[in-house]
Structure 1
Amino acid sequence: MDTAKESQLSDAPQALDSPAFGRRPVKPGRRGRVLAGAAVAVVAAVVGVGALGLGGGEPDLAGGGVVRPGGTVKVTRGTLSEETAVKGELGYGPEMPLPVKASGTVTWLPHRGASVKRGGAVLRVDDRPVVLLYGALPMYRDLSATAMESPSQNSAGGSGGGGDRPGGDDPGEAGLAAAGITGQAGGTDTAGAAGAEDSSRVGAGVAGPVRGADVRQFERNLAALGYTGFTVDDEFSVKTAQAVKRWQKALGMPETGVVKAGDLVYAGGPIRVARTGVQVGAEVSAEAVSYSSAARMVTVAASAADMAWAQQGNRVTVELPGGATARGKVSSVGADASPAAGDAASGGAASGGGEGGGAEDPTVPVVITFADQKGLGRLESGPVTVQYVGRERRDVLTVPVVALVALAEGGYGLEPADAKSPESQSTGAYVAVKTGLVADGRAEVSGPGVREGMTVRIPK
């Protein structure tokens, strides 16, 4: 993974003057030694810049050309940006099996790459469609408005009178029967009927329609498909059952008003069929159909040690094969780091002493999504480069980093190309500057003695 890292120079010189860089601060006076010391300091600065990941070597200038020791460059005005570039992979994201609850023989399967939206069939089992709806809850039970009955209420006669006959003496019984809720005790004894109803709800007798968050989720989908006439709530009512019958008729299914657990599968939105794990004629299994997102996205195995750019909501630019670019957003960042490729290959054997084990940082999965799918063109998969611009400084003075010299009294300076230039300050042949953002081998500089167009020397 390629990562362009930028840093910021401190006003205090110790970062570049540390013994690790083998440098000595430049001292005023004794010009011959000052210049010699400057040469050593600049050479060390190049090493230090490389160690900090700032480029080093001979960076290209904005107007072309190469910075060489002993040469001169001009102080220019422009924009500096911290930019991170990492490798990613364009595709449809991870594959997951559909949680199909149906049992029986597979009689139809979609082809790989097919898109399925709400209300579409993901497969057919015993020639019944298994329909895709949108939601987070899985389909785990049958949904209906039919009451459950206790054995005592199914028996003939009894103190309640009419048993489960449709149209008994209770004027509300006909309505219950029409709704498919039968088995209520009849008779004219209102108090007795109320007591029977109460005891049936406490015990194993008549229970009301199915209720719960899964009902609301289903009703919301049913309404979105255009089957209305009921209130979207937590209760599977008689009116819901009537809408289900209309939906079942359109699907060519028996019009029962009951939704079986195997009739539906839920996903977060439209899906793309990634692969099928069975053949037509085989028994349905948990791996019958696997799916991925219907929208293209980019996945990045980001280094766990360099995650500053990978913050949810950050806007990024993705460079596609061929040079085109698209704008995306960091959608999700994994919570767990995976072992580096070298660690995984070595199997974590401490005694192996193998090649490359642990040579790379652990990685964290990062997903980038795109609001404009057309901006990705027709490409469905392939390697891409993800670029993120962090801090940015506009309209600032900049010089190549290798032009900076650490001063003994603190801070950094520049050497004017003309040693007798009026810009020279009390530091001898150097102009003291304040440093800011560093990016692409250039540093932001400011101060009373530095100006746009000023020519400075890169010491030998």
Structure 2
Amino acid sequence: MTLLAVVAAGAVIAVLADGGAGVATPVRAQVADTAVITRQDLLDTKTVTGALTYSGQRRLTTGAAGTVTSVPAEGSVVRRGRSLLKVDRRPVTLMYGTLPLYRPLRRGVSDGPDVRQLERNLRALGYGKDLTVDDHFSYATYLAVREWQQDRGLPKTGQVDDTQVLFLPSAVRVTEVKTVVGGRIAPGQQVLTVSDLNRLVHVELDSGDQTLAKKGVKVTVELPGGEKAAGKITEVGTVARRSRDRTVIDVEITLTRKPKTKLDRAPVEVEMVSGRRKNVLAVPVEALLALREGGFGIEIVEGSLIRLVPVKVGAFGSGMAEITGDGLSEGMKVGVPSE
């Protein structure tokens, strides 16, 4: 006959025999703490690593040429009407819009949505009181441009081109500066890498786990410092790629609230749901005891008596473990080690 002993609080509390029913004879002992066997739906989860970053990363070029005389600090935020950089002391200004400035805008240019986009920004910045926002570059538009140019220290030409303005959808955060003060740049040269202000989590998910990543599925993210935040999968890559000797797909997760940390590329852990087990018995993971002969058991606490019951463990999720075993029922107390 094979004997199995389990130690709790420094004393042997149960002994199992091969020829018995598989349940230890109750003995008097003490446990550090107790929990209750619950019946619940259990989410089977898997934790993967990711990085907290910013959405909408893009590279910026400009039509300006000359000597760079000012650049923004990495991590700084640039909003409408402010300078992305200066070349020969002349600012390249951020304005909001989705259409690139693909042609000079001046009197006589054909009507178009790019004209409307410029006029909308001029009005938002306080220029052109008599300006009608439409597709036509009018004399009022010309006067508003000259007024704006004077305030920005630009030649008052009444014409706007890509040496003066960059149109982007919204305010941006400077991720990387690709030039230096005193450096020379040419038209079309990359000068900055920027991103949106929205935080997101990027995960390089092993291709074998891609069934975990479904658009719209909710996840839990553990941020630097132990902060936890809810998130939702918003983008799932459709093409696998190689990364550090792994085959991965890219997954992006949008957080439901703004995290406290300002760090970029900070490591995070993401708890993703791989399945759901319905109406199962579950105990805290800490209640599981590794048995010498393999497998797991739990301590059933009945008043001042404790008995050890072998269990079969199923799914894990949210700190709970699914269990099955002889004589187990909802509401039973189980022993849990202290922290």
In the alignment, the residues of structure 1 paired with residue 51 and residue 66 of structure 2 have an alpha-carbon distance, to the nearest angstrom, of 38
CA displacement at 1:325 relative to structure 2: 0.7
The Cα shift of 1:443 comes to 6.5
Q: Following the alignment from structure 1 to structure 2, what is the Cα–Cα distance between the partners of residues 269 and 381?
A: 22
The amino acid that maps onto 1:140 is Y
Structure 2 residue 131 is the aligned partner of structure 1 residue 230: yes
Please say if residues 312 and 331 of structure 1, whose CA atoms lie closer than 8 Å, have aligned partners that are also in contact: yes
Distance between the aligned counterparts of 1:101 and 1:444, measured in 2?
69
Higher helix share: 1
Q: Secondary structure at the match of 1:288?
A: strand
* Of 264, 282, 285, the match for 2:183: 282
Output the CA distance in 1 between the equivalents of 2:48 and 2:198.
Answer: 22
What is the total number of aligned residue pairs between the two structures? 268
Match of 2:149 among 241, 248, 258: 248
Cα drift, residue 438 of structure 1:
4.9
State the secondary structure of the residue aligned to 1:398. Answer: strand
Is 1:117 matched with 2:18?
no
Counterparts of 1:334 and 1:75 in 2: how far apart (Å)?
40
> What are structure 1's unaligned runs of at least 5 residues?
1-67, 148-208, 343-359, 401-436, 456-460
TM-superposed CA distance for 1:379, in Å, is 4.0
- The question of whether the paired residues in 2 share the 8 Å contact of 1:144 and 1:210 is answered with no
1:24 corresponding residue in structure 2? none
Cα displacement (A) at 1:93: 5.3
Structure-1 residue corresponding to 2:91? 129
Amino acid at match of 1:254: P
Unaligned runs of at least 5 residues, structure 2: 1-15, 25-35, 284-313, 334-339
- The structural deviation recorded for 1:338 is 1.0
1:388 corresponds, among 243, 262, 272, to 272
Instruction: Say whether 1:398 aligns with 2:301.
Output: no
CA shift for structure 1 position 444: 9.2
Partner of 1:346: none
**SS at structure 2 position matched to 1:216:** helix
Partner of 1:34: none
The answer to whether residue 257 in structure 2 is matched with residue 363 in structure 1 is no
Report how far residue 238 of structure 1 moved: 2.3
Change (3 A) 1:438 1:258: same
What amino acid maps onto 1:332 in structure 2?
A: E
- 2:37 and 2:255 mapped to 1: Cα distance? 40
Using the alignment, how far apart are the partners of 2:218 and 2:123 within structure 1? 35
Matched-pair identity in %: 38
User: 2:116 corresponds to which residue?
Assistant: 216
Counterpart position of 1:320: 223
TM-score, structure 2 as length reference? 0.66
- CA spacing shift, 1:442–1:245, aligned 2, 3 Å: same
Tell me, in whole angstroms, the C-alpha distance in 2 between the residues paired with 1:313 and 1:218. Answer: 36
Judge conservation of contact 1:107–1:281 (CA < 8 Å) in 2: yes
Alignment of 1:153-302 (within 5 A): 209-228=109-128, 229-285=130-186, 286-302=189-205
User: Contact between 2:68 and 2:88, CA under 8 Å: does it hold in 1?
Assistant: yes
Work out which of the residue numbers 81, 96, 109 in structure 1 matches 2:43.
81
Q: In the superposition, relative to structure 1, how do residues 268 and 391 fare at CA in structure 2: closer, same or farther (>3 Å)?
A: farther
Structure 1 residue 269: Cα displacement: 2.1
Q: Deviations over 1:195-235 (max 9, x none)?
A: xxxxxxxxxxxxxx332232233233333323353333322
Q: Deviations over 1:149-180 (max 9, x none)?
A: xxxxxxxxxxxxxxxxxxxxxxxxxxxxxxxx
Q: What is the alpha-carbon distance in structure 1 between the residues aligned to residue 216 and residue 116 of structure 2?
A: 30
CA distance in 2 between partners of 1:318 and 1:253 (Å): 47
Which structure would you say has the larger Rg?
1
What is the alpha-carbon distance in structure 1 between the residues aligned to residue 155 and residue 273 of structure 2? 58
Preserved CA contact (<8 Å) 2:211 2:274: no
CA distance in 2, matches of 1:217, 1:444: 65
What letter matches 1:123 in structure 2? L
Q: What SS is found at the alignment partner of 2:173?
A: strand
2:185 maps to amino acid: V
1:131/1:280 CA distance change after superposition, 3 Å: same
Please tell me the residue identity of whatever aligns with 2:54: Y
Shift of 1:244: 1.9
Kept in 2: contact 1:438–1:444 (CA 8 A): no
Cα deviation for residue 117 of structure 1 reads: 1.1
When residues 329 and 236 of structure 1 are mapped into structure 2, their CA distance, relative to the original with a 3 A threshold, is farther
Q: 1:212 to 1:335 in 2, by over 3 A?
A: farther
Q: Please identify which structure carries the higher strand content.
A: 2
Q: Which amino acid aligns with 1:144?
A: R
CA–CA separation in structure 1 for the residues paired with 2:136 and 2:227? 51
In structure 2, the CA distance between the partners of 1:313 and 1:234, relative to structure 1 (3 Å rule), is: farther
Matched with 1:442 is 322
* CA positional deviation for 1:450: 9.6
Distance change (3 Å), C-alpha of 1:131 and 1:90 = same
Measured after TM superposition, the shift of residue 103 of structure 1 is 1.7
Q: Does structure 2 retain, via aligned residues, the 8 Å contact 1:397–1:452?
A: no
Distance 1:297 1:75, change over 3 A: closer
Aligned partners of 1:221, 1:306: CA distance in 2, in Å? 46
RMSD, aligned α-carbons: 3.5
